[in-house]
Amino acid sequence: MSTADQILELLKQDKASEEFRELHWTGTFRDYLDMVMEDPRLTRNAFQRIYDMILSYGTEEFVDQKERTTRYRFFSDPSHEGQEAIFGIERPLMQLVSFLKSAALGYGSEKRILLLHGPVGSAKSTIARLVKRGLEVYSRTPEGALYTFQWLMPESEEWETTPMNEEPLLLLPPATRQAVLDQLNERLDAPYKLRLEGEVCPASRVNLELLLDHYDGDWQRVLDERVRVVRMVVSEKDRNGIGTFQPKDEKNQDATELTGDINYRKIAQYGSDSDPRAFNFDGEFCVANRGVVEFIEVLKLDVAFLYDLLGASQEHLIKPKKFAQTHIDELIIAHTNEPEYRRLQANELMEAFRDRTVKIDIPYNTRLDNEIRIYERDFGADKITGKHVAPHTLEVAAMWAVLTRMVEPKRAGLTLMQKLKLYNGKTLPGFTEDTVKELRAESEREGMEGISPRYVQDKLSNALVSTASDTDVNPFIVLNELESGLLHHSLITSEETRQRYRDLLSVVKAEYDDIVKNEVQRAISADEEAIGRLCGNYIDNVKAYTQKEKIKNPYTGRPEEPDERLMRSIEEKIDIPDSRKDVFRSEIMNAIGALAVEGRGFDFRQDERLQKALELKLFEDQKDSIKLTSLVSSVVDRETQEKIDVVKSRLMKNSGYSERSATDVLQYVASLFARGDSKDND
C-alpha cells in the first residue's frame, strides 16, 4: 500500500466525517418535532443556552474569608487548554452567572444590557471572548445543539436559509405553538421554563405568507413540503449566532451595521426596496440572533447607536430600515472603562440607557497567587526558550502590580505588604479572616485602579529580549524594566502616582531580600522535612504547655515537662519576649483549633512568623558548618567551596535555580549578610 493510500485509509477511520454529518443534519419539520419532544432543551432561548453552557463545565465550592464562593470551571477556558483562563475574580464572575440565571428564569435580567466595567486590562474583553468561544464549542455538542430552518420557494426551487436563524417552532401558528410549548415544559427537566417569544423576521414572514397563499392556507403542507430543519453551528467567523460591534470613525459608521441594509441588486428582482427579500439582514444584531452580540468599548459609540440598544435590550426588538420592528433573541454584552462610564453618569440625556444596564465591576487581581498565574501562562518555564527565568522573578513583578492596586490600610501597625499577604491567605498575629473581610469592606474601590497586567507583561517581554540578560532573567532586571517604563507610562497622569509606584518598587525589593535570605537559609539548614519535624516537635510541646500536660519522651517513653528551652529557642528568633510567650502559644493553638473545625490540617507555611522562626532555628543550628560570607571573598578554601556547591545544588533541585542564577543569588545574599555583619560590628 502506497503512502497516499495509507493516508486515505486513515481518513476512513477519522471521526471528522461522522462529526461533519452530525453538524450538517437536515430533516423534515416532523423530524424536528419528534426531536424536541424527546429533548425539549433544543428550543432554549439564548440566555438559557448560555447559562447551561457555563454550568456544563462544572463548579468548585470553596470558602474564602468565611464566605462560600463558587468557581465556575468554564472561566478557566478548558476548551482551549487555559489559553485565556481568568484568575482571581470569582465574585464578579458569580455576579455574571447570577445575571444569566435570572435571565434564563425570565426574572427581568433578559431585558438588560450586561455591562462589564473596569480598568484597562482587567479581563473585560476576555470574559466576552470566552462566552463567544464557549458558545461556538457548545453548539457543536449534542447538549448544545440548536436548529434553524430553510425555505424551498416555488420560483427558485432552491433551499434558502432564513436570514436570522430563527427557532423552527416559530413557524407554527400562535395557538398551536403555545400548545406545543406547554407539552415541552411538562417534559422539561430544568430550573426554567421554555419561552417562544416574537415572530420570524420580515423576509421569512413574507415567504410564509406566499406559501400559505400558494397552498390555500394549508399550514401542514407548507411545513411538510416547503420547510426543512437544519443544524445551526454558532461561529463568529461565519457570522452565525455571534456579532461583534466596535466604534469607528463617525463618518464611516452608521446604524445599518447593526440592523442591515437594502440589497440594491435585488430591488429589480422584487420590484421594491420595501420588500423584505430585497434587504440584507446582516447587521450585528441580526447575525447574533440565537446567540450573543458584543459591544466593544460601548460608551465610545455615538449616541445614535446607543438608542438602538434601548429597544434591543428592553423589548428584544430592532428596527431595520423601512421595515417593522423585528424580534431578536440574544445576550447583549458590552464593556467600558471608568472614564467613559463617568461621562455616561454625567449625561442626563442617557438615563434610559443607564436604566437598561446591569453593571458588573471587573477589578484587577488583589490576590498575589492569582496574579502570578497570569504571568506564568505566558512566561512560565514551558513557554520560554533560550533563557532561564530565575525563581521569584514573576513573583516580584506580580507583587508590585498588586500593591499598586491596593488601598493603604487604615489600621495602625499594618503595612501594605502585610495587607497583601493577608489577602493572599497568610496568617499574621492579631489578624483573622474577619479582619480581612473588614479590610476589603473599607476598600470598596480596591482593584479598580493601579497597574495593568499588560504593562507588566510588556516589561517582562523587554527583560527577556534585553542584552542585560544573556542567559538568565532575574528579579532585578525585571524591576529595573518596571521602573524605567514608569516615566513614559501613558496612563499615569500624576507625578504623585508615579512616585508612589517607585516607592512600592523599593518595598518589593526589601521583601525580595527577605525571601531570598530565607531561601538560602533553608538550603543551608535543611530541607522541608526537617522543618516539618521541628514544627511537629514544637507544636507537641506547645499543646502540652497550654493544656498543662506532660509530653512523652520519644526515647525513654517517660512523661516529661514540655521543653521550654526548645520553645523559647524558636520563639526568640522572631522577637517574642518572655512576657508574650503565653499569648503567642495560645494564638498558635487557636489557629490549629479553628482549622480543625473546618476539617483542615495545620501547615506551618500558613503562619509566616512561625515558618520564619523554624527556618531561623535550623539555620542557626547549622550555620557554623558554612561561612556564607566567605562568598564575597576572592579566596575560598576547598572545604567551604564543597559546602557552597551543596547549597547551590539544593537551590537548583528544590527551588528551580539554574547554576548561573544560583551562583548570583548566593553572592547577593552573602553581600546582604556581610552588610548585616558590618552593622553588627559597628
pLDDT in tens, 289-344: 999 999 998 888 877 778 888 889 999 999 888 888 899 999 999 999 888 888 88
pLDDT for residue 678 is more than 50? no
Tell me how far apart the alpha carbons of residues 618 and 526 are, in angstroms, rounded to a whole number.
7
pLDDT at position 679: 47
Q: If you compute the radius of gyration of the chain from its CA atoms, what whole number of angstroms results?
A: 33
And the C-alpha cell for 65? 474569608
Closest CA to 478 of 597, 553, 595, 392: 392
pTM for the full predicted model: 0.82
Residue 467 has φ and ψ, to the nearest 5°, of -70, -15
pLDDT for residue 633 is more than 60? no
Sign (positive or negative) of CA dihedral 89, 90, 94, 95: negative
CA atoms within 13 A on the CB side of 344: 26
pLDDT at position 682: 43
3-state secondary structure (DSSP) of residue 219? helix
Tell me how far apart the alpha carbons of residues 175 and 113 are, in angstroms, rounded to a whole number.
31
**484 and 637 in contact (C-beta within 8 Å)?**
no
Residue 361 has φ and ψ, to the nearest 5°, of -75, 130
Least confident interval from 167-171, 638-642, 674-678 = 674-678
Q: Which helix (H) or strand (E) holds 270?
A: helix 264-270
Cβ-proximal residues to 641 (8 Å cutoff; 6+ apart), any chain: none
Residue 334 has φ and ψ, to the nearest 5°, of -130, 160
Closest CA to 100 of 135, 62, 60, 142: 135
Burial group, residue 403, by CB count within 10 angstroms (0-12, 13-18, 19+): buried
Chain position carrying cell 466595567? 117
Q: Distance from CA of residue 230 to its chain's centroid?
A: 35
Burial group, residue 28, by CB count within 10 angstroms (0-12, 13-18, 19+): middle
pLDDT at position 489: 86
**618 and 625 in contact (C-beta within 8 Å)?**
no
3-state secondary structure (DSSP) of residue 427? strand
Cβ-proximal residues to 525 (8 Å cutoff; 6+ apart), any chain: 615, 618, 619, 621, 622, 623
Chain position carrying cell 438602538? 308
Cβ-proximal residues to 334 (8 Å cutoff; 6+ apart), any chain: 113, 114, 115, 116, 294, 295, 296, 298, 357
For the residues 468-473, what does the mean pLDDT come to? 74
Tell me how far apart the alpha carbons of residues 215 and 550 are, in angstroms, rounded to a whole number.
98
Tell me how far apart the alpha carbons of residues 475 and 221 are, in angstroms, rounded to a whole number.
75
Burial group, residue 129, by CB count within 10 angstroms (0-12, 13-18, 19+): middle
pLDDT for residue 551 is more than 60? yes
pLDDT for residue 398 is more than 90? yes
Closest CA to 313 of 158, 524, 114: 114
**162 and 149 in contact (C-beta within 8 Å)?**
yes
Cβ-proximal residues to 132 (8 Å cutoff; 6+ apart), any chain: 236, 242, 244, 291, 292, 294
pLDDT for residue 13 is more than 90? no
pLDDT at position 410: 85
**520 and 667 in contact (C-beta within 8 Å)?**
no
CA atoms within 13 A on the CB side of 480: 11
Tell me how far apart the alpha carbons of residues 604 and 123 are, in angstroms, rounded to a whole number.
34
3-state secondary structure (DSSP) of residue 367? coil
- pLDDT tens per residue, range 91-131: 999 999 999 999 999 999 999 999 999 999 899 999 999 99
And the C-alpha cell for 240? 452565525
For the residues 215-223, what does the mean pLDDT come to? 92
The residues with which 60 forms a beta bridge, in sequence order, are 71
User: What are the distances in angstroms from CA 471 to CA 278, 376, 387?
Assistant: 64, 19, 5
The residues with which 292 forms a beta bridge, in sequence order, are 242, 331
Q: Distance from CA of residue 276 to its chain's centroid?
A: 43
